[in-house]
Amino acid sequence: MPGYAELFCVSNFTFLTGASHPHELAERAAALGYHALAITDACSVAGIPRAWAALKAQPVKLITGSWFQLSDAPAGEARPSFVLLARTRKGYGQLCRLITTGRRRADKGQYQLHGHDLDSHCLDDCLCLWQPPPLAGSDAQQALACGEWLQQRFHHRFWIAASRPLEADEEQRLARIRWLADQLRCPIVATGEVHMHSRERQPLQDVLTALRHRCTLDQASPHLFPNGERYLRPLPVLQRLFPEPWLRETLRIAEACTFEPGALRYEYPADLVPANETPTDHLRRRVREGERRRYPEGTPERVRDQIRKELALIEELKYEHYFLTIHDIVRFARGQGILCQGRGSAANSVVCYCLGMTEVNPAKVELLFERFISRDRNEPPDIDVDFEHERREDVIQYIYRRYTRERAALAATVIRYRPRSAIRDVGRALGFDPALVEQLLEAIDWRDRDTDWRQQILDKGLTRNPRIADRFFNLVNTLLGFPRHLSQHVGGFVISAGPLAELVPVENAAMADRTVIQWDKDDLKSLGLMKVDVLALGMLSALRKALALIGEARGTPFTLQDIPPEDPDTYAMLCRGDSIGVFQVESRAQINMLPRLRPTTWYDLVIQVAIVRPGPIQGDMVHPYLRRRHGQEPVAYPNDAIRQVLERTLGVPIFQEQAIKLAMVAAGFSAGEADQLRRAMAAWKAHGDLTPFRDKLIAGMLERGHDPEFAERLYQQICGFGGYGFPESHAASFALLVYASAWIKRHYPAMFYCALLNSQPMGFYSPSQLVQDARRHGVTVRPADVNHSQWQHTLEGPEHHLRLGLRLIRGLPAASAERIHRHRPRRGYRDTRELRRLARLSQRDMECLAGANAMPGFTRNRHQAYWELLDHEVPAALFAEAGETERPEPPCEQLPEPSEGQDILADYHSQGLSLRRHPLALLREQGCLRHCLTAEQLTTAHPGRPVQVAGLVTGRQRPSSAAGVTFVTLEDETGNVNVVVWLATARHQRKPLLTARLLHVQGVVEREGEVVHVMAGKLTDLSHLIETLPVRSRDFH
């Protein structure tokens, strides 16, 4: 037996076709003793890195190739179908170019290649395996014409691929292949046309085929393969099916293909380094410049030491270009006045501090620098840079400009099957009633940890037949995690020295003008390629705007660095839970935590950011930490190593890094093993198996003399993180923004709210909620008015009154608002005609303004304003000249005056908020809410006392960390009421809980420190009161 190399094999990256993961194919090929395996997905190399990672430690050679079917028939009627294999690195580049052409031409997810593309692309380093057309499709002469055409393009790099799927008429097909080879004088090579690693996958392959053709299995027969023979066959079977020369030919081809994905070396763009400098020198010089800025009185010796260490490591690992590239992007942003901040493990280095990528001062957080760049992990450093969300596009355009689209593209994100989509698709293929499947999906409680979703489906009565149920779950289980399509990564850029399309194919993303490469971040990591994360953060936009407003008010520029550190008033405000609008700590859970944790330093904020996360909450870290913090529980450490890891969080692991580090110091994991644990934790939810790590962790801890109880508790804590732990390196950067935004809120509230409102949408709260909070903090808010407002919200006068901008008015375009502002006469507009004429407003614009009552200076009320401008008998242009002398239209006496309620609702309808009285105040005055306490009165209510409250429902949450509990937030004229609804209560009162817009709650007051909740008993839907308030309220939000 000569051995075998499989040269035609598609993975599940040929979406809805291949039925095995690349790694499954690779592992099976190795187990079967194949000499080599080519992964040849349809116009794609997306599966290559995963196969490569699986084969690294195996003697099987990985060949990179791709399978193509042309969209036209350049010769005869048959459309050529063939596999191209990359012979060398050059051939790989050629292959990537061709794939890029085919993908860029078609819509996302498709490809289109024509005969002429094979002429216009150089493919002289690729090998071609031709798949002759099927017997039924064309006669011998047609097939020959097709083969001749293709052979002329590849000459001696041309084979006919023969497969043995054991289908009908196989003898005739093989005879045709022999005849073609004879006519073309070319060799025949054995291939498997592999679609799955094992025959067991045939059912799934059938399901995928049915899905691809959008039909059920019953209807799919014409498209299905008659059997499951397209799998990786054992060598003896191959030997029986193929003549020996055909098998030997596979080895000859495999021998010729010397390209290995590991040979791809990322060549970082050298653009940034001057010709007369080495990258190391250049980086060193940049850092020194930074040092002078950061330490004007001279760099402390300790810091200088650290810099030396870091630079040595960077040099050793050749990461200079990476740091220089990010530095360049950050410098561009700074030059444009775009706020940005880096985070991530590598970002917390002195080098990054000096280069201006981060503001986290190393003097404050020594401990963080332990985990700078791991030498052992052999992974590129990880720095995420956040930019103002409204101006990130500028940064992206800069990157495209600087490196061109040829050399820069976004990384892909592989969208995979999740339980919901897998159940839906398998159900569809098996012909289950779609409405039934939807019903099941809706009924499954994914957060119910006690009952597996499979059991839930059975309980809900999908099928009574256990065989069908079994098959269904098997298929769903196998399909889980299969890739469905490539999407764009949120901001991970890959930048290369040479043309990117020769490193990895580039394809279209769904968004116009965006292109993505065929690999995702894990693929890049496994091939050792680097990406730069350019992310968007709304708070940075808001901060920049607030700083500018403060600067204006103070008469001198004001920057983040000018904010005084550790201001007690700011912390006092946070300790009260007064944090609406503040970065990261504004959610209801965070607001409740603030008075309990009582942060008084920056590092407390780092903990605050990380502690309100599913990881620490599920791992039950919160209560022990709080108890120890307030001295109600002693802090003890089993040994010094553990003390080192946990001391800064009082012995309770809170950060992801600590969980990993604990595995190392308490259970003796190596850095590599700990990193595997981290990945397993991240994937835990999807694949769900930490058992191998459990045994090892517990054994390791017992070995090191820890008692079993401690070992078990620690294991549970690590599990609790389950991928939801928050890294300290990110929390540290975030905490800076928490402090900065809190300080501004405390000392410059008008600027704070104005900036936040101008950065919408962002954060947790609607403009209405922000405006109410602003007024509670003493800011005077004035309504939008064509004679005073701009597009943006502005501050007026020495008192800094907040004037709402025209941007609030729904449906009014920014350009129209700009014209209203620009063309406004000094004395203001005097009537609607003048406004319409000078600002060149459309009828629709005018209607928006009337609806928002934004013309109070010259209209009696919104009804009359609307009546006046609905009259389209008068062509505006005709009166353009005579505008000044135009007599105003008499008001229509039959129209009713708006009532207060009508006005309030119309305000909400047109702007999403109202500066008039809160609807609840009106209802209370009308006696509709007798016995109900306001949010304000509730703060002084006695715990345990039965109360009634009512309010507009502004939030309903069922956090995954609180089993079965629904949190409802009610808003009234004095503030917010937190209502807690237990599962049993919720089950019995679904209707009011889920549909009420105005909810009345009877319950019991609960108090913990300053946090007050109402535990709900009876819920009553009072939404009809809004409707009777005045008129319509369908769109009341």
Partner 1 sequence: MLWLYLHFPHMLLDHLRRHRQSSRPLAILSGQDPRVAQACPEARALGITAGMRLKTALALAPNLDVIQTQPGQDTQVLEAQARWLYRCAAHIALRPPDGLLAEVASLQRLYGGLPGVWQTVAQALETHQLTASMALGHTPEAARLLARADQGECTADTARIRHRVTGLPLSQAGFDRTTTERLQRLGLTRLGEVLALPPAELARRLSPDALSHLQKIQGTRPDPVQPWHPPHVFRQEVDFLQDIEQSQGLLFPLQRVLSELEEELRWRQQDTDSLHLSLRHRQGDDSRIHLRTAGPEHRAEAFLNLARLHLERHPLSAPVTGLRVCVRRFLARDASRGQDLFGKHSHPEEAWHTLASRLQARLGASALQRLVPRADHRPERAWAAAGALGEPHQQRPVPVLPGHRPLWLLASPYPLGEAPAAWLSGPERIRSGWWDGQPVQRDYYVVQLADGPLAWVFRDLRNDWFIHGWFG
**Binding residues vs partner 1 (CB under 8 A):** 135-136, 165-171, 202-203, 206, 217-218, 221-222, 224, 226-229, 430-431, 433-435, 438-439, 442-443, 467, 471, 847, 850-851, 862-863, 866-867, 870-873, 892, 894-898, 902, 906, 990-991, 994-995, 1031-1032
Closest distance of CB 175 from partner 1, Å? 11
Closest distance of CB 165 from partner 1, Å? 8
8 A C-beta contact, residue 923 and residue 1025: yes
Closest distance of CB 171 from partner 1, Å? 5
Other beta carbons less than 10 A from residue 760's beta carbon: 18
Radius of gyration of the chain (CA): 34
CA atoms within 13 A on the CB side of 334: 15
Closest distance of CB 966 from partner 1, Å? 11
Instruction: Give whichever of 435 and 636 is closer to partner 1, judged by the CB atom.
Output: 435
Closest distance of CB 57 from partner 1, Å? 34
Instruction: Give whichever of 222 and 927 is closer to partner 1, judged by the CB atom.
Output: 222
Closest distance of CB 372 from partner 1, Å? 47
Closest distance of CB 209 from partner 1, Å? 12
Closest distance of CB 915 from partner 1, Å? 19
CA atoms within 13 A on the CB side of 767: 25
Instruction: Give whichever of 83 and 906 is closer to partner 1, judged by the CB atom.
Output: 906
- Distance, in Å, from the CA atom of 48 to the CA atom of 524, rounded to the nearest integer, reads 11
Closest distance of CB 441 from partner 1, Å? 9
- Distance, in Å, from the CA atom of 136 to the CA atom of 127, rounded to the nearest integer, reads 27
Instruction: Give whichever of 367 and 436 is closer to partner 1, judged by the CB atom.
Output: 436
Closest distance of CB 228 from partner 1, Å? 5
Closest distance of CB 729 from partner 1, Å? 38
Instruction: Give whichever of 679 and 990 is closer to partner 1, judged by the CB atom.
Output: 990
- Distance, in Å, from the CA atom of 1037 to the CA atom of 237, rounded to the nearest integer, reads 68
- Distance, in Å, from the CA atom of 393 to the CA atom of 412, rounded to the nearest integer, reads 18
Q: Return the DSSP state at 346.
A: T
Instruction: Give whichever of 171 and 450 is closer to partner 1, judged by the CB atom.
Output: 171
Q: What is the DSSP pairing of strand 1011-1021 with strand 794-796?
A: unpaired
- Distance, in Å, from the CA atom of 203 to the CA atom of 981, rounded to the nearest integer, reads 45
Closest distance of CB 857 from partner 1, Å? 20
Instruction: Give whichever of 91 and 898 is closer to partner 1, judged by the CB atom.
Output: 898
Instruction: Give whichever of 656 and 902 is closer to partner 1, judged by the CB atom.
Output: 902
Instruction: Give whichever of 337 and 811 is closer to partner 1, judged by the CB atom.
Output: 811
Closest distance of CB 234 from partner 1, Å? 16
- Distance, in Å, from the CA atom of 976 to the CA atom of 953, rounded to the nearest integer, reads 10
CA atoms within 13 A on the CB side of 69: 9
725 Cβ neighbours under 8 A, 6+ residues apart? 610, 613, 615, 616, 655, 656, 659, 681
Instruction: Give whichever of 800 and 862 is closer to partner 1, judged by the CB atom.
Output: 862
Closest distance of CB 716 from partner 1, Å? 33
Closest distance of CB 549 from partner 1, Å? 35
Instruction: Give whichever of 150 and 848 is closer to partner 1, judged by the CB atom.
Output: 848
Token pair for residue 719? 């599990």
Question: Which candidate, 1028, 783, 808, places its Cα nearest to that of 910?
Answer: 808
- Distance, in Å, from the CA atom of 278 to the CA atom of 741, rounded to the nearest integer, reads 41
The CA distances from residue 671 to 368, 373, 375, 652, 657, in Å, are 17, 12, 10, 21, 12
Other beta carbons less than 10 A from residue 447's beta carbon: 12
Instruction: Give whichever of 443 and 511 is closer to partner 1, judged by the CB atom.
Output: 443
Question: Which candidate, 647, 645, 694, places its Cα nearest to that of 665?
Answer: 645
The CA distances from residue 96 to 104, 266, 400, 844, in Å, are 12, 15, 20, 50
Residue type, 29: A
Question: Which candidate, 618, 611, 658, 623, places its Cα nearest to that of 637?
Answer: 658
- HEC letters along 927-969: CCCCCCECHHHHCCCCCCCEEEEEEEEEEEECCCCCCCCEEEE
Instruction: Give whichever of 632 and 894 is closer to partner 1, judged by the CB atom.
Output: 894
Closest distance of CB 433 from partner 1, Å? 8
Instruction: Give whichever of 105 and 471 is closer to partner 1, judged by the CB atom.
Output: 471
Instruction: Give whichever of 206 and 675 is closer to partner 1, judged by the CB atom.
Output: 206
8 A C-beta contact, residue 755 and residue 546: yes
- Distance, in Å, from the CA atom of 320 to the CA atom of 281, rounded to the nearest integer, reads 9
Instruction: Give whichever of 339 and 905 is closer to partner 1, judged by the CB atom.
Output: 905
Residue type, 517: I
Judge residue 171's burial from the number of C-beta atoms within 10 Å of its C-beta, 0-12 exposed, 13-18 middle, 19 or more buried. exposed
- Distance, in Å, from the CA atom of 181 to the CA atom of 192, rounded to the nearest integer, reads 18
Residue type, 708: P
Question: Which candidate, 55, 82, 96, 67, places its Cα nearest to that of 260?
Answer: 55
Other beta carbons less than 10 A from residue 774's beta carbon: 23
8 A C-beta contact, residue 495 and residue 403: yes
Instruction: Give whichever of 109 and 165 is closer to partner 1, judged by the CB atom.
Output: 165
Q: What is the DSSP pairing of strand 384-388 with strand 532-537?
A: parallel
- Distance, in Å, from the CA atom of 574 to the CA atom of 609, rounded to the nearest integer, reads 13
Closest distance of CB 995 from partner 1, Å? 6
Instruction: Give whichever of 555 and 896 is closer to partner 1, judged by the CB atom.
Output: 896
Closest distance of CB 189 from partner 1, Å? 22
